[in-house]
Amino acid sequence: MFTGIVTDVGEVLEVKHRAEGLSRLTIGCTFDPETIAIGASIACSGPCLTVVDRGMKGNQAWFAVDAAAETLAVTTVGRWKKGTRVNLERSLKIGDELGGHLVTGHVDGIAEIIGREDLTDMARIALRAPHALARFIAPKGSVTLDGVSLTVNAVEGDTFSVLVIPHTLQVTTFSALKKRDGVNLEVDLMARYAARLTAMP
C-alpha cells in the first residue's frame, strides 16, 4: 500500500527482456540499498513492483525488479528504456503519515495527455482516460498518475484535468510531461468499490 507521495526520482539503468514476456529492470535511486529487503514492494511510476536484487555500483545505489506480461501490457513499463526517469515510493509502514490517498500500486490503464498549460510555477494538465475508467473519476476526487496522488479539477466525458503545484513539479517527473505522453492511471480505490456496490442488484 502507498500514498502517492513520491520520495525519489530514479533512473532506469538497464532493461533485460527475458523469456515469456518477462522484463528485468535495474533502477538507480538514492535509497540506501541496505534498507531495501529482497521481496519489498516499491511503486515505480505507479506499478507496485517487487525487488529481486539491490546493491551499489560505484556511488550509485540500485535495485532490480521484474515486470511480467500483464504489467507490460497495461502500463507504460514496456516503453521504458535506459535513461527513463521514474517516480519512486516505498511501501507504507504502520505509523507512517498518509499524506496523499490510499494507493494500491495496481495500475488500471494508461491515460493520454491531451493538453498542458504552464502557469506561474504550476501546470494544468488535461488527460483522456480509457473509456471504461472514466466513470471512476470525479471532480475533487483523487487519481494517481505515474505514482503521484493528485486531485481532479474538472471532468468532461472521458477527459479530466489536474493542477500540478510547484513542489510536485520539482520532485517528480511531471516537469517533463508533454502532450501525447502516456501516464499510468490508478483510479481511487473507494470510487471503484462504490461503483461496484451501486452496480450490484
160 counts as catalytic: no
106 counts as catalytic: yes
User: With 0-12 CB in 10 A as exposed, 13-18 as middle and 19+ as buried, what is 171?
Assistant: middle
161 counts as catalytic: no
17 counts as catalytic: no
Quick check: helix, strand or coil at residue 3?
Answer: coil
Q: How far apart are CA 146 and CA 173, in angstroms?
A: 9
41 counts as catalytic: yes
H or E segment and range at residue 128: strand 123-128
From the candidates 17, 35, 68, 194, give the one annotated as an active-site residue. Answer: 68
From the candidates 30, 35, 50, 73, give the one annotated as an active-site residue. Answer: 50
From the candidates 43, 44, 48, 61, give the one annotated as an active-site residue. Answer: 48
From the candidates 73, 151, 154, 195, give the one annotated as an active-site residue. Answer: 151
Is the alpha carbon torsion for 132, 133, 139, 145 positive or negative? negative
From the candidates 41, 45, 76, 168, give the one annotated as an active-site residue. Answer: 41
From the candidates 106, 134, 159, 175, give the one annotated as an active-site residue. Answer: 106
**Phi and psi for 31 in degrees, rounded to 5?**
-65, 145
**134: nearest Cα among 168, 158, 101, 160:** 158
Residues labelled as active-site residues = 2, 41, 48, 50, 68, 106, 151
